[in-house]
Amino acid sequence: MSESYAERAQALDTADELAKHRAKFALDEVVYLDGNSLGALPAHVPARMADVITRQWGELRIRSWDESGWWTAPERIGDRIAPLVGAAAGQIVVGDSTSVNVFKAVVAGTRLAGDPRDGRDEILVDATTFPTDGYIAESAARLTGHRIVPLDPAEMAGAVTDRTALALVNHVDYRTGRLQDLPGLTAALHEAGALAVWDLCHSAGALPVGLDAHGVDLAVGCTYKYLNGGPGAPAYLYVAERHQGRFDSPLPGWNSHADPFGMTPGYRAAEGALRGRVGTPDILSMLALEAALEVWDGVEIEAVRAKSLALTDFFLECVRAYVPAGRVESVTPEAHAERGSQVALRCAEAPAVMAELIRRGVVGDLRRPDILRFGFTPLYVGFADAERAARVLAEVLASEGSSAGSSQDG
């Protein structure tokens, strides 16, 4: 049976139109299934950054703000990301962390929705959300006079009322890989006069998002996962064009001023998505991200999605074939319409099992207490990787009990 699945993997890799992109990344013999936490390094980035550091910073110095285009990097790179999330140019600005951008989006979103004293005093929050989103939303609610209503995303559409100002939802659940209904929930919010704020950290670069097509109001996302921007790479903020004139950022820094070098004491917001800027951009990480995004040249996100589903289907099939019965349970939806680009397996010995997998050259990650998480990045993960990961997982579970290795958190 092992040879049969290995042969199938080889045939699928041979037919894979995206397989050629693997060569663009600095990879070794390890099966890397943690790109949903940190994407692999695009091989050309180090040389590009050597130029940024030695020539742009080292030789041109302050001149690089103009001559090397440093000043316009946040919106320029935003326009590079835009096609990957289904947005037209001029609606995304890059900078700050995801957490900071969540704060901007939630507070500005409540201001767009109206004064909470007029009735729209509720912020719906994904109860399964990545913790920081919840923390930020609670703080924003205290500052703006709203109350938080935590809900399972599946229940949100039916819970929207005329008291709802906005909903903050993760497009893909970071633990289970469940893909939420962005079009349906956005429509339900709009029907009630509320706004939709989406966190795209686990979907951008893995599947079509369709921000413009589905009328999303505001969105945020990181760039170090499927977009391969590097550790701590700057995040981004999407502000739909129809809202830009009224977008009132809670962090009105000098970079978002209409005349930033006028240094006037009064604040006057710039036009467009530039209102999402705050302070001086993180140029080194910003330009590393810009270089990394070149791996997407000529890639259709629909092809990425098709391979993602095929990879996760194949991995799940191999797990069912190889892994001893009852040792793991998939908590990732089987239905394609409800699945992101990862597979989460519940396992009683998860910490020890993941540590042993990593020791044997299969890198996934762990979500306590019992979730083994495997991310599939279609630009560089192949079907042979999926088969090998499932086979090694079976070997670990067959040979090790609760003593599979030392504990590791993820």
**What positions carry a catalytic annotation?**
130, 199, 224-225, 373
Q: What are phi and psi of 81, to 5 degrees?
A: -75, -30
For residues 20 and 13, give the distance between their C-alpha atoms in angstroms, rounded to a whole number.
Answer: 10
Nearest to 393 by CA among 339, 324, 331, 344: 324
**How far is 185 from 53, CA to CA, in rounded Å?**
45
Give the whole-angstrom CA distance, residue 408 versus residue 298: 38
Alpha carbon distance 25, 119 (integer Å): 52
C-alpha distance across the termini of the chain, in Å: 32
Instruction: From 277, 189, 196, 228, select the one nearest 35 (Cα to Cα).
Output: 228
Q: How many helices (H) and strands (E) does the chain have?
A: 12, 13
How far is 39 from 25, CA to CA, in rounded Å? 10
Q: What are 329's two structure tokens?
A: 């349970």
Nearest CA to 150 out of 172, 169, 174, 178 is that of: 169
Which positions ≥6 away from 311 have C-beta within 8 Å? 376, 378, 381, 383, 386
At a CB cut-off of 8 Å and minimum separation 6, what does 342 contact? 36, 172, 177, 202, 312, 332, 373, 374, 375, 376
Residue type, 139: S
Q: How far apart are CA 162 and CA 151, in angstroms?
A: 17
